[in-house]
Amino acid sequence: MKDGTGSPTTFGSGEYTYRLVEGWAQWPDDWKPADVAAVGVDSKDQVYAFYRGDPAVMVFNRDGSYLRSWGHGIFKHAHGLHMAPDESIYLTDDFDHTVRKCTCDGKVLLTIGEPGKPAPFMSGLPFRRCTHTALSPRGDIYVSDGYGNARIHKYSPDGKPLLAWGEPGSGPGQFNLPHAISCDADGWVYVADRENHRIQVFDGNGRFETQWHDLHRPSGMFMPAGKCPICYVGEIGPYYEFSRGAPNLGPRVSILSNDGKLLARITTEPAHGTKPGQFISPHGMTVDSRGDLYVAEVAYTAWPSLFPNQPKPARLRVLQKFERVASA
């Protein structure tokens, strides 16, 4: 749907139609603009932004009012966030090569990985710039490992290693940057295999089941709790000059059924930019109890690749809210 000027007022389609809430996040006065790598919500619809600054976690209410922050001096480089059913938060730090389980007010309960000590390149050992975390229905911990590795690691709820799978490549069970990971109520594991342009699906012990294509560099991924959940996928656009700005490649947010069928897309053309409905690099996302969608972007990191000859703006959109509306 468009307004009288020709600009879109809603995005998506059918059951998954949204209205952008411009200027939603009311950042504190001393906030220094930087990437928001990931986002999650708790049972009160409080929104947790995992931010590439210090303190690293900013908390807002659903109307965008700033509530509090935490994580000062702990995190080197925000990358992934997973909100557990008990509302503990798993925060994946790719520069520190660690996953930290924290309470909602920032107390660290568990650390997996050796802080500041990367595993050897493509060794399969944990971790070499791990990217994201997910939990099985019984509380086992899956970690995608990521930049400089091609591996999925599985841990017990108390952090003991159970198994691992994956190697570099493009075949089933191989990875070229496993960038995000989710697990559904049946224990299936979904991995955004970003540079292979697909999502791979495994059973809980790493056996390959199927894969979803028709995606472009799936980067962020979120599956709500429950049986047969849908999958929200942030796809990032091409960076190379020969395809940069080409239509139908993103960046965009795609909404898929639990068997990989496309239900809706939040996008416009041209897809990359700072106008409503455009993205720079949708890196993380979540959905609240009302179906509203929050999209975290690493816009400052991606800008030079998408706009190499343009100065970086002082302020970029890094946390967007799309309010779900009735079908257009």
18 within domain boundaries: yes
Instruction: Determine the average pLDDT of the residues in 292-310.
Output: 95
Answer yes or no: is 1 within a domain. no
Domain-embedded: residue 43: yes
Between 133 and 226, where is the model more confident?
A: 133
Q: Quick check: 224 pLDDT over 80?
A: yes
Q: What is the DSSP letter of 53?
A: S
Residue 152: C-alpha distances to residues 91, 105, 140, 225, 280 (Å):
16, 28, 13, 21, 27
- The pLDDT, as a whole number, for residue 302 is 95
Of residues 204, 88, 228, 195, the one with CA closest to residue 152: 204
Q: How confident is the model at residue 3 (pLDDT cuts 50, 70, 90)?
A: low
Instruction: Determine, yes or no, domain membership for 46.
Output: yes
Domain count, the chain: 1
Q: pLDDT by residue (tens digit) across 152-193? A: 999 999 999 999 999 999 999 999 999 999 999 999 999 999
Q: Would you say residue 136 has pLDDT above 70?
A: yes
Strand ranges in 22-124 using DSSP code E only, listed in sequence order: 36-41, 47-51, 57-60, 66-70, 78-83, 89-93, 98-102, 108-112
Backbone angles phi, psi at 27, to 5 degrees: -65, 150
The secondary structure element, H or E, covering residue 135 is: strand 130-135
Domain annotation covers residue 6 = no
Q: Does residue 5 fall inside a structural domain? A: no
First to last CA, the chain: 7
175's enclosing H/E stretch is: strand 174-175
More confident residue, 152 or 328: 152
35 or 245, greater pLDDT: 35
Over residues 232-241, the pLDDT tens digits come to 999 999 988 8
pLDDT at 87: 94
Mean pLDDT, residues 128-146? 97
Instruction: Give the range of the structural domain holding residue 214, as residue numbers without chain letter.
Output: 11-325
Q: Give the C-alpha separation, 211 to 202, whole Å.
A: 9
**Residue 208, preceding peptide bond in cis (omega within 30° of 0):** no
Structure confidence at residue 138 (pLDDT): 96
pLDDT tens digits for range 27-68: 999 999 999 999 999 999 999 999 999 999 999 999 999 999
Which pLDDT score, from 0 to 100, does residue 4 have? 45
- pLDDT tens for residues 248-286? 999 999 999 999 999 999 999 999 999 988 999 999 999
Domain assignment present for residue 222? The answer is: yes
**Mean per-residue pLDDT, 86-102:** 98
Residue 195 has pLDDT above 80, yes or no: yes
324: β partners = 18
Q: What is the CATH number of the domain that holds 19?
A: 2.120.10.30
pLDDT for 240 equals: 87
The answer to whether position 288 is within a domain reads yes
Report the C-alpha gap between 207 and 275 in whole angstroms: 42
Distance CA 70, CA 87 (A): 16
How many whole angstroms separate alpha carbon 89 and alpha carbon 82? 6
Nearest to 282 by CA among 260, 253, 257, 308: 253
The pLDDT of residue 6 = 47
